[in-house]
Chain A
Amino acid sequence: MKRWILIAVLGLVVAGTAFWGYQEHQEKNAILIQAENTYQRAFHELAYHIDLLHDEIGTALAMNSDQRLSPQMVEIWRLTSEASSDVNQLPLGLLPFNKTEEFLSNIGDFTYRTAIRNLDDEPLSDEETETLKNLYEQSAEIERELRQVQHLVLEENLRWMDVQMALADEDAQVDNTVIDGLKTVEKTVEGFSEADVDSSIIGTSAKNHQYKFLQGSKDIDENEALRISKELFKIEDESQIRITETGNGAEVPMYSASYTNGDRHGYLDITKQGGNPISLLVERPIGDKKISLNEGTERAEEYIEKLGFEDMILFQSSEYDNIGAYSFLYSQDGVRIYSDAIEVKVALDNGDILGLTAQNFMQNHKERDIPQPDITASEAKEMVNSNVDIQEEFLAVIDNDLGEEVLTHEFLGIYGDDTYRIFINAMNGQEEKVEKLGGSEINYAVN
């Protein structure tokens, strides 16, 4: 009897210990993951901030007006401080990374000094422009090296915790790509608004435009929604379609339709008012490329015309893995309206439409009274930095920093190796926006 009790007690103790041990282990793991996440965040933010820093310095180079330049310098200054705080959060205690920090603080000092100066009285001297140019080139190199490291980190799922261990244990001969990569970054340096991510200015209109342009005043019912989605999905059998309604948090009441048929899947949002399509997504395996990006453009144009969007002009096109992505802008009497944008996706294997989003268009579109510009294009050109070689010009309506729509002269120009889009207010000649255009990047996977 006694023996049995003893066994039971011991058994309990063992089970208890095991349970406790397991819990401790779980907790330790959770904390490890959390620490790892903090490091990851600091690192990816560093890479992003350096990217941005590089772009912003480039933009500053292409700017002309001093009213824009001061805020731009402040922006760069802010980015340098963010980037150096990112560096400081990385577990690099044992790795000499001070040159990079020095570089950051150099940029910071320089931009701070120029930002607080009255640039109207004392514009940038040639020397200072030269300095800025050098900083631009140096930041390009750091950006490139960091991206390379970042690619490796993502590709090989590298852990900062391991980096830390490797750094602590100097004897261990580990092949640590992160450390090597960061050392390269450091070596490179030795040799020499974020507020709105500025992804692109398309559709960046003020938030309070609330779906002004919904055709039709009558609300549609579910049957009608079903009919419309059948038509847009191009399928016969409506029993496959599932319709749901939006809740009370939606900005505009909508029906959402989805269907699945084999490996084909579709999703559609249409407004209740008037049954306007807001976004369409079709997912299916894409075969080999049979039609060109250019033919895809024609399909996309036909499609939006059929849906009743008029006067849309192609603004951008890109090819991603056999899919063509197109964005169109509304053009009112030859003036491009940036906030009224529509995006279309075309499969380049057979030309099917894979997606449409008209959210920006529906939110912002209205008939506008576009005034005659007070400033001619050639006058506006004078306002552009004389180093920029202007290649193309348009009239455009964009949203300025305050979220108001303004009429501008838009110029596309080259400065150095980069292309810039520059907007000059057509009423008062103010430089409204300068944007450095990217759009392609080295393919790390192949190189």
Chain B
Amino acid sequence: MVYKRTCLLLMVICTMFIAFESTNPTKTVHAFSPQVIQQGATGDDVIELQARLQYIGFYNGKIDGVFGWGTYWALRNFQYEFGMKVDGLAGQKTKDKLVQVTDYDESFVKEQIAKGNKFTHYGGVDKEKQSAPQPQKQQPKQDGGAKQEQQPANDGGEQAQQQAEPAPQEEQDEQPAEQGADADAQAEGPATTAVNVPQGFSQNDIQLMANAVYGEARGEPYEGQVAVAAVILNRVESATFPNTVSGVIFEPRAFTAVADGQIWLTPNERAREAVLDAINGWDPTGNAIYYFNPDTATSSWIWSRPQIKRIGKHIFCK
């Protein structure tokens, strides 16, 4: 065991030297911004972090600019192998180490992301072999060689590797021209190719809820929108309502905006943010499962529900 570890370390150091030696002269000073990068972060620093971790074979996922679990384990493995404090945070020391032992070809990575290519950033492999144009299903053989050499440096992540080829997260087949249409949804969003989503929800779920919230409560104050989203979620949890977001929203006669088609108006950012807040746990209604507008409500039954509070034009009740 001890022998194996020493062996590993030696190899790592070797790789390190090779990387260092060959890249040092050309290295531009560009490196991370001073921030400490932690799980959940997005943006350029995360792209650089992923690219650098991939360079020495710790990270085998997509370089997408979102610090998710894959990046987290890769970073911890890196910290472990280099005898640093294993905390999964990319602080100054960790970043310095990374910069020291890896090379980051920013223009290459940025270019690939901008083009929407599928690409990798392994050290010691011809760049051209590491990128594939858009509508490509097959992942090029690129990383085979590189991986073998660097495999030893990585013990925890190697399982991840075995499945890395055919497994998830590498789609992006035909995606018609609709970049422009989405400009507002991801306003000036940097080059990240992934986004954070709350556990258990997809972007589409969020979008659908934002549609419903916007259709139902676009004239309401912000908390009124969060409240409507919270009611949808409370209904999903309630035993007397459907168990899915779409089931609740499209339940016949449940929401007027659905019945009259207003749900198909394009929601704004505010509605989306309100939905995210509700999913993240905000519930200004205090567990309400009904609400109504007292000025337009036609059913007398609704008035018999125990009322919790009024937000904007809506009364929320149990």
Residue of B nearest to A146 (CB): B204
Contact B182 A440 (CB under 8 A): no
- Distance (Å) between the CB of A273 and the closest chain B CB? 14
- Distance (Å) between the CB of A161 and the closest chain B CB? 12
In the complex, what residues of B have CB within 8 A of residue A248's CB?
306-307
In the complex, what residues of B have CB within 8 A of residue A389's CB?
156, 159
Contact B201 A199 (CB under 8 A): yes
Residue of A nearest to B116 (CB): A447
Residue of B nearest to A363 (CB): B287
* B182 partner, pick from A155, A295, A320, beta carbons under 8 A: A155
Contact A258 B281 (CB under 8 A): no
Contact B246 A414 (CB under 8 A): no
Contact A419 B89 (CB under 8 A): no
Q: Which of B235-254 contact A (CB under 8 A)?
A: 236-237, 243-247, 249-252
Contact A48 B244 (CB under 8 A): yes
In the complex, what residues of A have CB within 8 A of residue B179's CB?
445-446
- Interface size (B, Cβ < 8 Å)? 107
Taken together as a complex, chains A and B put the C-alpha atoms of A341 and B211 apart, in Å, by 29
Is the CB of B105 closer than 8 A to any CB of chain A?
no
- Distance (Å) between the CB of A47 and the closest chain B CB? 7
Interface SS of chain A: helix, strand, loop or mixed? mixed
Q: Which of A337-358 contact B (CB under 8 A)?
A: 341, 343, 345, 355, 357
Contact A439 B69 (CB under 8 A): yes
Contact B281 A360 (CB under 8 A): yes
Contact A279 B282 (CB under 8 A): yes
Is the CB of B293 closer than 8 A to any CB of chain A?
no
In the complex, what residues of A have CB within 8 A of residue B309's CB?
244-247, 250, 254, 256
Contact B204 A150 (CB under 8 A): yes
Contact B182 A445 (CB under 8 A): yes
Taken together as a complex, chains A and B put the C-alpha atoms of A328 and B77 apart, in Å, by 25
Q: Choose the segment among B18-26, B124-132, B142-150, B162-170 that binds chain A (4+ C-beta atoms closer than 8 Å).
A: B162-170
Is the CB of B260 closer than 8 A to any CB of chain A?
yes
In the complex, what residues of A have CB within 8 A of residue B160's CB?
414, 416-417
**Which one of A40, A200, A446 has the highest number of Cβ atoms from chain B below 10 Å of its Cβ?**
A446
Contact B318 A438 (CB under 8 A): no
Taken together as a complex, chains A and B put the C-alpha atoms of A258 and B311 apart, in Å, by 10
Contact B41 A294 (CB under 8 A): yes
Contact A441 B203 (CB under 8 A): yes
Contact A37 B252 (CB under 8 A): yes
Taken together as a complex, chains A and B put the C-alpha atoms of A6 and B41 apart, in Å, by 78
Contact A254 B89 (CB under 8 A): no
Contact A33 B243 (CB under 8 A): no
In the complex, what residues of B have CB within 8 A of residue A437's CB?
69, 199
Taken together as a complex, chains A and B put the C-alpha atoms of A183 and B102 apart, in Å, by 44
Q: Which of B265-318 contact A (CB under 8 A)?
A: 266, 269-270, 273, 276-277, 279-284, 286-288, 305-311, 317-318
Is the CB of A194 closer than 8 A to any CB of chain B?
yes
* B159 partner, pick from A249, A324, A416, A439, beta carbons under 8 A: A416
Is the CB of B83 closer than 8 A to any CB of chain A?
no
Taken together as a complex, chains A and B put the C-alpha atoms of A177 and B191 apart, in Å, by 26
Taken together as a complex, chains A and B put the C-alpha atoms of A194 and B286 apart, in Å, by 23
Q: Choose the segment among A8-16, A162-170, A311-319, A426-434 that binds chain B (4+ C-beta atoms closer than 8 Å).
A: A311-319
In the complex, what residues of B have CB within 8 A of residue A49's CB?
244
Taken together as a complex, chains A and B put the C-alpha atoms of A295 and B277 apart, in Å, by 21
Contact A440 B196 (CB under 8 A): yes
Q: Which of B184-226 contact A (CB under 8 A)?
A: 185-187, 189, 191-205, 207-208, 211, 221-223, 226
Contact B194 A441 (CB under 8 A): yes
Contact A325 B171 (CB under 8 A): no
* A41 partner, pick from B73, B89, B197, B246, beta carbons under 8 A: B246
In the complex, what residues of A have CB within 8 A of residue B195's CB?
320, 440-441, 443
Residue of A nearest to B171 (CB): A144
- Distance (Å) between the CB of A199 and the closest chain B CB? 4
Is the CB of A68 closer than 8 A to any CB of chain B?
no
With A416-B163, A416-B167, A417-B160 known as contacts, the answer to whether A318 contacts B35 (CB < 8 A) is no
* B73 partner, pick from A51, A198, A391, beta carbons under 8 A: A391
Contact A140 B168 (CB under 8 A): yes
Is the CB of A223 closer than 8 A to any CB of chain B?
no
17 A-B residue pairs with Cβ-Cβ distance under 8 Å, sorted by A, are A37-B250, A41-B247, A44-B208, A48-B245, A140-B168, A177-B176, A199-B200, A200-B199, A251-B287, A252-B286, A254-B286, A267-B222, A293-B40, A295-B35, A317-B38, A445-B185, A446-B193
Besides the known contacts A248-B306, A320-B195, A414-B160, 14 further A-B residue pairs in the complex with CB atoms under 8 A apart: A41-B247, A41-B249, A44-B208, A244-B309, A250-B309, A293-B37, A325-B40, A414-B156, A417-B70, A419-B69, A419-B73, A440-B195, A443-B195, A445-B186
